[in-house]
Amino acid sequence: MLSEPRTAVADHPEAVELPRRFRRNPYALSALLLAPHLSAETTAALRQAIGLDRIDWGEILTLVNLHFCTPLLYVRLRQHRLLSHLPPELREFLHCLHEANCERNDAFRNALRCILQVADGLGISCLLLKGAASLADDLYRDPGARMLGDLDLLVEPPGTERLWRELVGQWGYVTATEAPAGDFPVSPDYRRHHLPRLFLPGTPVVIEIHHRPSRGQAGRGLPASLFWAGKVPIDFVGQSTFIPDPTSRLLHATFHALLPMREFIQSSLPLAALAEFSALGVRYSSEIQHHRWLAVGTETGADHEFQVFRQLARQLMGGGEGDADWRSRLAIARIVAGGNAPALSDTRFRQGEKVKSVLIRAFYLSHLPGWLWRNPCYGRGWTALPRRFYYLRQWWGARNRAARLMKFAKNDFVPEE
């Protein structure tokens, strides 16, 4: 049921303003609205801002839709008792999307139960990753809070191929058409971290059967053995399965948000990843080993990225300023500016945002060769040198071809009369 009609905000002398970093920063404000826990003071400030129409809901909805967080926004607003202060049509919109996502997640839940039954019949153990794990332990305490793109299952070889063939041959799953990887060139001996994706026709269900938790640099930091060593047994709708321990889940959420698709250097960190990082931190605060989390990031050469991600979650999701150094503060400002860009109107974008956009693009281009050197390889050290040179050579050739194409198009284009 929808909440009661919109509540007016009284003029309380003790009312507080939102901190400055959340004003006219739709990315930062969206993150705050998705936070799993808010102080009474922050909730009061949000209530006042909503009641006085100081929040541009068009900008917020643009971002949460883009980041697949709209149902979670509804859940958090309801959790923090802010729904009744929203315009009725906005409440109705969020409510309908949440209900639709509950139905969609039911399809994923039923499919996962069937897949676990099939795996059990084959004597194959599965370890649920990311969204599948959040379904199993009800991380968000709501069946429709998290939007699922697919179900990720980690399976030890040769069980990966056996389970994949069984689902295709006996259970109606079909290989999904996938766009070629555009984040880096694929070398002839490249092996993905999962088998080709499968989907179940007539349903939204897509699954990925993994032999590694992640790829490239993230895959080096997260070997499958790490996940299996810390597996936690769990019952999912009558089926016994496993999820990673809380620290491994936090590591997976962090690596997946920062590295595989150039997110950190592109200044485009997903709000869904920040929300999951914070939800895990609140739910499993007494079990997460933060020293181990940072040690794995440092060992993999991503200590700066890890520190920035943690500080970003602390600052934007109601946890205070933290103790960020100057490099982290610059990175956070860059990421927030990059996150704001899709939501800003043309007028606002012209008012000072163009310079930020140019600086963000310059940062990305200057760091892209380093990313290409570090990320595509699963192996460590000297063993990966041939592949690293392969990727750099391929990238440089593609860059030069693109430059020649742009020059050709510029010289030969004749506008119509």
pLDDT in tens, 281-322: 999 999 999 999 999 999 999 999 999 999 999 999 975 666
Which is higher by pLDDT, 359 or 351? 359
H/E element holding 243? strand 239-243
For 60, phi then psi, to 5°, come to: -65, -45
* Rounded Cα gap, residues 388 and 226, in angstroms: 25
**pLDDT band per the 50, 70, 90 thresholds, residue 1:** very low
Percent of the chain with pLDDT over 70: 85
Which is higher by pLDDT, 355 or 309? 309
Q: What is the pLDDT of residue 354?
A: 80
Which of 152-156, 260-264, 354-358 is predicted with the least confidence, judged by mean pLDDT? 354-358
Q: What is the pLDDT of residue 90?
A: 97
Q: Is residue 347 scored above 80 in pLDDT?
A: no
The pTM (predicted TM-score) of the whole model is: 0.89
Q: Where are the domains of the chain?
A: 20-378
**pLDDT band per the 50, 70, 90 thresholds, residue 182:** low
* Rounded Cα gap, residues 388 and 407, in angstroms: 29
**pLDDT band per the 50, 70, 90 thresholds, residue 256:** very high
What would the pLDDT profile of 71-124 be if each residue is shown by its tens digit?
Answer: 999 999 999 999 999 999 999 999 999 999 999 999 999 999 999 999 999 999
138's CB contacts (< 8 A; 6+ apart) are none
- Both ends of the chain: CA-CA distance in Å? 58
86's CB contacts (< 8 A; 6+ apart) are 6, 50, 57, 77, 94
Q: Is residue 410 scored above 90 in pLDDT?
A: no
* Rounded Cα gap, residues 218 and 313, in angstroms: 20
Q: What is the pLDDT of residue 327?
A: 92
**pLDDT band per the 50, 70, 90 thresholds, residue 236:** very high
What would the pLDDT profile of 56-67 be if each residue is shown by its tens digit?
Answer: 999 999 999 999
Compute the average pLDDT of residues 187-203.
82
Q: Is residue 260 scored above 90 in pLDDT?
A: no
CB hemisphere CA count around 247 (13 angstroms) = 17
Percent of the chain with pLDDT over 90: 69
Compute the average pLDDT of residues 36-64.
94
Which of 7-11, 127-131, 408-412 is predicted with the least confidence, judged by mean pLDDT? 408-412
Q: Is the peptide bond before 342 cis (omega within 30 degrees of 0)?
A: no
